[in-house]
Structure 1
Amino acid sequence: MSAPSTARPVRRYLVTGAAGCLGAWVVAELLAAGQEVVATDLTEDRRRLELVRLRPSDDVPWARLDVTDLDALTAVLTENAITDVIHLAGLQVPFCAADPPLGAAVNVVGTVNVFEAVRRLERRTGLVYASSAAVFGAASVSGGHGVRDDALPDPGTHYGVFKVANEGTAQQYWRESGVASVGLRPFVVFGVGRDQGRTSSATSAMLSAVVGDRFELPGGGPALLTLARDCARWFIAACDLSLTRGGCDVWNVPGQTVRLDDLPALIDAHVPGAADLITVGAGAPSAVPSRLEDPALHRVLGRDIDTPLATAVAETVAHFRQALALGILPGTASSPPSSADVPSSPRSTS
């Protein structure tokens, strides 16, 4: 008799915000694991997904979807027999600051719609959504103490306020409807595909070094860095947990603390001469906490997902070099954004 198979059953995931960096990595990791994926976004731009996969991605099922449209969202879930949802769609800090009503529509109403659409399925569905370290404000970083998963929120931006609201939405859907979920709070995500947003400078510095451009990091304070691939793996694993644990847990995404003024030397170890190209400005330190205290994800899932920072930098540099050799890397970190780098709609994600 042959041994029983230990292969993971194939499921069908809906990924919102698939055109963004984290969305691209989640889609790529799921496909690499043999899972079925329906990628959705308001845009059909697969640039980041192709960069992450180092190959064309026309074969990936893709649906244009506005998460503020509940009927459309419900239809996509139903028509594609979705078993799991990884919700990443949303507007970043600058877009929410520029247009708070639109930010609330996409980030808050859009998330309510995801929960409502899952509730309407009337079947157990894995669900994980992206909260953010932005729920913690300046008070959370005073004194240099690590932030806990159960720390009280203290947002300092509209974006952070919207993410706090989403965590409350998850609680209510669990209490009132039994919709289980896990919310994850990434801190500073870096790696291939991280080309936009307030905290993308670490990745831009690596790409600049690879192509031989100068780049200035904005300030040398500490930051909690998480490799984009690791972050994607945390989301996928957490989606599984939402089915097995029930409830509405919200957890911080682990990473490694580094001072940004130490980053040029780390890059220089893999790109000789990078320390001369990458400088550090005098910008104000980030108001986002840079250390975690006893992260629950480590207790629940272990530390196997964590990639050592030096290894992560080396892998990112190698990936950029391969992308350049294949001719699929659009522009450079220090180039002004082209029309392809700017969301065609403010509801597009990054």
Structure 2
Amino acid sequence: MTDRSPIVVTGVAGFIGHATAHRLLERGETVIGVDIVNDYYDPSLKEARLATFNGRREFAFHRADVADAAAMAALVRDNGVRRVIHLAAQAGVRYSLENPFAYEHSNLAGHLSIMEACRHAPGFEHLVYASSSSVYGERPMGGKGFTEEEPATSPVSLYAATKRSCELMSQSYAKLYGFPQTGLRFFTVYGPWGRPDMAYFSFTDRILRGEPIEVYGEGRMARDFTYIDDIVDGILGALDHVPQQGEHRVLNIGDSHPVGLMEMIETLEKAIGREAEKIMRPMQPGDVTATYADVSKLNAICGYRPKVMLAEGLDRFASWYRDYYGRG
């Protein structure tokens, strides 16, 4: 994979972007990372992720806003970029209730800005971008996973609505301008260097501080927890298997084994070696009861098959957490 044009990774100071960029570097790619490094959560964690790239000559970092269309167009054009992995976005279902315009800016304007940069780039090959399992809305889980053919027309949060909007924007651009695009619907990603606003991370923090944890949905929710290394396998598998010219595809990327919230907490307690004091709370606005990925499409395209089970993944996370924060 050497001697090719550089790959732009937006959101490179974020959880998934950081891991994706490192994997690209490991296989010999040149990476241009983009991130505004905002304060949605602790910026020092984002800066620490960026510091892991120090000394990598094949990596260049641009502190920039993806919604700055002129800056993104110049970055892609001037560096001869033909592949982009667009992961930058305003994340979080609950935060979208408090600060909706952040989602308009980062998710909608940001996605349009990246698409415009790609469509004007000579010889552009493939845009891979982050969508979300939240687009499925509140759906009975039943005995099978969510499939990409489901309509995804009833989002229950603004965050989900912006992600579905990005998919529709990409569909129109693929048809209008002919460049291949792949949207990846991520299902609850976890692991070392993760996001502090995610339940497993905040639970770990509170348990090790000796504080109670708040369990929403009274513990009856389930999530398709997907380890970060497995997610990166899927991202690069999708990147390398380019759709036809003018094709836009949407693919699930998850573990395909939903785990109940109480089971996750029990597994986390074992990884930490402490029991949590639990305060049961009702479901919060914007949350969904369950997520469950059918990944047969991604498997057919690139052989995607998750390898890391929850117990192993949470053990790795707990070890990283103790090392990074020096707690417990």
Normalised-by-shorter TM-score class: 0.7 to 0.9
Amino acid paired to 2:45: R
Q: CA deviation at 1:27?
A: 1.9
Q: CA deviation at 1:322?
A: 3.3
Secondary structure at the residue paired with 1:147?
A: coil
Cα distance 1:215–1:8, how it changes in 2: closer, same or farther (>3 A)?
A: farther
Q: Do structure 1's residue 66 and structure 2's residue 65 form an aligned pair? A: yes
Secondary structure at the residue paired with 2:120?
A: helix
Q: Do structure 1's residue 169 and structure 2's residue 169 form an aligned pair? A: yes
CA–CA distance in structure 2, aligned partners of residues 39 and 99 of structure 1: 26
CA–CA distance in structure 1, aligned partners of residues 49 and 70 of structure 2: 32
Amino acid paired to 1:171: Q
Q: CA deviation at 1:175?
A: 1.1
Cα distance 1:9–1:159, how it changes in 2: closer, same or farther (>3 A)?
A: same
Secondary structure at the residue paired with 1:307?
A: coil
CA–CA distance in structure 1, aligned partners of residues 301 and 316 of structure 2: 27
Q: CA deviation at 1:49?
A: 6.4
Cα distance 1:57–1:260, how it changes in 2: closer, same or farther (>3 A)?
A: farther
Residue aligning to 2:311: 310
Cα distance 1:312–1:32, how it changes in 2: closer, same or farther (>3 A)?
A: same
Gaps of 5+ in 1: 1-6, 326-331, 334-350
CA–CA distance in structure 2, aligned partners of residues 106 and 52 of structure 1: 20
Q: CA deviation at 1:253?
A: 1.2
Amino acid paired to 2:65: D
Query: Over residues 173-212 of structure 1, what are the superposed CA-to-partner deviations in whole Å (9 max), with x where a residue is unaligned?
Result: 1111111011001121212233344xx0113334555x45
Residue aligning to 1:344: none
Amino acid paired to 2:147: R
Residue aligning to 2:302: 301
Of the candidates 31, 35, 42, which is equivalent to residue 29 of structure 2? 35
Query: Over residues 227-283 of structure 1, what are the superposed CA-to-partner deviations in whole Å (9 max), with x where a residue is unaligned?
Result: 2232233222212223678621101112231111112332343332x2x23536333
Cα distance 1:49–1:189, how it changes in 2: closer, same or farther (>3 A)?
A: farther
Contact 2:13–2:46 (CA<8 Å) still a contact in 1? yes
Q: CA RMSD in A?
A: 2.9
Gaps of 5+ in 2: none
CA–CA distance in structure 2, aligned partners of residues 185 and 117 of structure 1: 22
CA–CA distance in structure 2, aligned partners of residues 205 and 239 of structure 1: 33
Greater length-normalized contact order (CA 8 Å, ≥ 6 residues apart): 1
Contact 1:49–1:57 (CA<8 Å) still a contact in 2? no
Residue aligning to 1:119: 119
Matches within 5 A, 1:93-132: 93-132=93-132
Q: CA deviation at 1:32?
A: 2.7
Contact 1:214–1:278 (CA<8 Å) still a contact in 2? yes
Secondary structure at the residue paired with 1:61?
A: strand
Cα distance 1:208–1:98, how it changes in 2: closer, same or farther (>3 A)?
A: closer
Cα distance 1:315–1:11, how it changes in 2: closer, same or farther (>3 A)?
A: farther
CA–CA distance in structure 2, aligned partners of residues 159 and 166 of structure 1: 11
Cα distance 1:98–1:320, how it changes in 2: closer, same or farther (>3 A)?
A: closer
Residue aligning to 2:215: 218
Contact 1:17–1:87 (CA<8 Å) still a contact in 2? yes
Secondary structure at the residue paired with 1:182?
A: strand
Secondary structure at the residue paired with 1:264?
A: helix
Q: CA deviation at 1:51?
A: 4.8
CA–CA distance in structure 1, aligned partners of residues 124 and 291 of structure 2: 36
Contact 2:214–2:279 (CA<8 Å) still a contact in 1? yes
Residue aligning to 2:183: 183
Cα distance 1:240–1:133, how it changes in 2: closer, same or farther (>3 A)?
A: same
CA–CA distance in structure 1, aligned partners of residues 133 and 177 of structure 2: 27
CA–CA distance in structure 1, aligned partners of residues 75 and 199 of structure 2: 35
Runs (4+) of structure 1 moved beyond 4 Å?
A: 7-11, 142-145, 243-246
- Count residues with an aligned counterpart: 314
Amino acid paired to 1:189: V
CA–CA distance in structure 2, aligned partners of residues 195 and 34 of structure 1: 27
Residue aligning to 1:319: 320
CA–CA distance in structure 2, aligned partners of residues 254 and 173 of structure 1: 26
